[in-house]
Amino acid sequence: MPVLRVEGWRGINHSYAMVNQWQLLELCRRSGLDLCHVDRPFFNAGWNAAANSGGFSEARRQAIGAIRTSRPGEAADVVYRIAFPYDFSECPDGRLFVFGTSEYQHIDGMAAGRDTALAARDPRLSIVTPSRWSKAGFVAAGFDPERVHVVSHGIDPDTFRPVDRRQRKTLRNLMRVRNDDFVLLSVGAMTENKGIDLLLTAFARLRHRHRHVRLVLKDQSNLYGLTADRILAGLGRSPQAHLFTEDVVSSIVFVSHNLGLTELAALYGSVDCYVSPYRAEGFNLTPLEAAACGVPVVVTRGGATDDYFAPALGLQVDSRPVQSGGRSWLEPDPDALFDALVRMVEGGRRFDPAAVSAAVHGRFTWARVTDELARVLGV
């Protein structure tokens, strides 16, 4: 029976920890595999399960916590590291796989344990990354493309699914949103790569045209200390400041408190459209989760989401590639973003929630993508 030692983060809602925990839940169900885990130190010493909970149910937390700890000196056939910075240090055991994302298609300054150029020449070290866009960054760093494996992320179909009309109405009442409002949503860290500045400007333009449009921004301030009002304040000093009237600003709902997974799924299910005009992403899981809840999405064309986007899910926004200082990213076209939102609001194309959800559930469950991970790891 092969021994797989996973070295990563558990207990918190950082994306790496969430991916690790979903994968662990699937891996521990596999027969013929001896799974053990080593908890890596968090990147930020202030992160903890109390303040930054992953939001799993008690049963799932217990299942994740019940995975045995690797015994001192115990050999493993395969080691899989999923934490940050990427630990490229040599592994005395069997094959080594390191998970990582390269949002800007470069990994300078993101690795530890061994020089990246040296690690890239080690035939026993392979990379796991969630998109072709992200793979390009590791290849650019010198890794053999054959040793950089793209393994998608997924969704839990029991958690992320459409809500019924009664639930939807209740949730919208809690947010003080009318049933006939058209609500846009974006979830994640309020960092430059997410394109929240572009979304806020497009929304402001849209609100001047449609007074029933609202925007909900759910941040990750409990991890990063960044909130959307900081971006909004910056736009208030920009050439677009005239767009941000009192009416526009008052129509934005800010959510900063931590949400459990069922609460997050309910938030997705209560809105009309999920918007992510990102500049750079390693995968971008939140639009996939929203679509699994039956919510159409608007995402940037040309980036990481190309790996899972399908016309049934929503609309893409044209972008232009930019390169500077060894980094690569996309700049979404502001007018194309505005036009996509207008199409959503004015019903230029209708998206059936059941069809949107089915398009995700049929291809991107954690069970299915973890099967692919196990194949790559050879377990």
Tens place of pLDDT for every residue, the chain, 379 residues? 899 999 999 999 999 999 999 999 999 998 899 999 999 999 999 999 989 999 999 999 999 999 999 988 889 999 999 999 999 999 988 899 999 999 999 999 999 999 999 999 999 999 999 999 999 999 999 999 999 999 999 999 999 999 988 888 888 888 888 889 999 999 998 889 999 999 999 999 999 999 999 999 998 877 777 788 888 888 888 888 899 899 999 999 998 888 999 999 999 999 999 999 999 999 999 999 999 999 999 999 999 999 999 999 999 999 999 999 999 999 999 999 999 999 999 986 689 999 999 999 999 999 999 999 999 999 9
The C-alpha angle 66, 68, 74, rounded to 5 degrees, equals 175
Quickly count: other Cβ atoms within 10 Å of residue 276's Cβ.
26
| Domain 165-361 fold | Rossmann fold (3.40.50)
First-last CA distance in the chain? 9
Domain ranges for the chain:
3-154+366-377, 165-361
The CATH number of 3-154+366-377 is 3.40.50
Task: Provide the pLDDT for residue 232.
Answer: 83
Which amino acid is residue 99, in one-letter code?
F
Quickly count: other Cβ atoms within 10 Å of residue 73's Cβ.
6
Element (H, E) at 361: helix 353-361
Cα 266 to its chain centre, rounded Å, is: 17
DSSP conformation class of 41: P
Task: Provide the pLDDT for residue 166.
Answer: 85
Confirm whether 3-154+366-377 and 165-361 share one CATH topology. Answer: yes
- Strands 297-300 and 319-324, sheet pairing: unpaired
Cα 7 to its chain centre, rounded Å, is: 20
**302: helix, coil or strand?**
coil
Where does residue 287 fall: left (phi above 0), alpha (psi -120 to 50 degrees), or beta otherwise? alpha
**347: helix, coil or strand?**
coil
DSSP conformation class of 323: E
Bridge partners (DSSP) listed for residue 129:
150
Which amino acid is residue 111, in one-letter code?
A
DSSP conformation class of 355: H
Phi, then psi, of 50 in degrees rounded to 5: -75, -45
DSSP notation for 96-139: EEEE---TTS--TT-EESS-HHHHHT-TTEEEEES-HHHHHHHH
Nearest to residue 99, comparing CAs of 215, 162, 6? Answer: 6
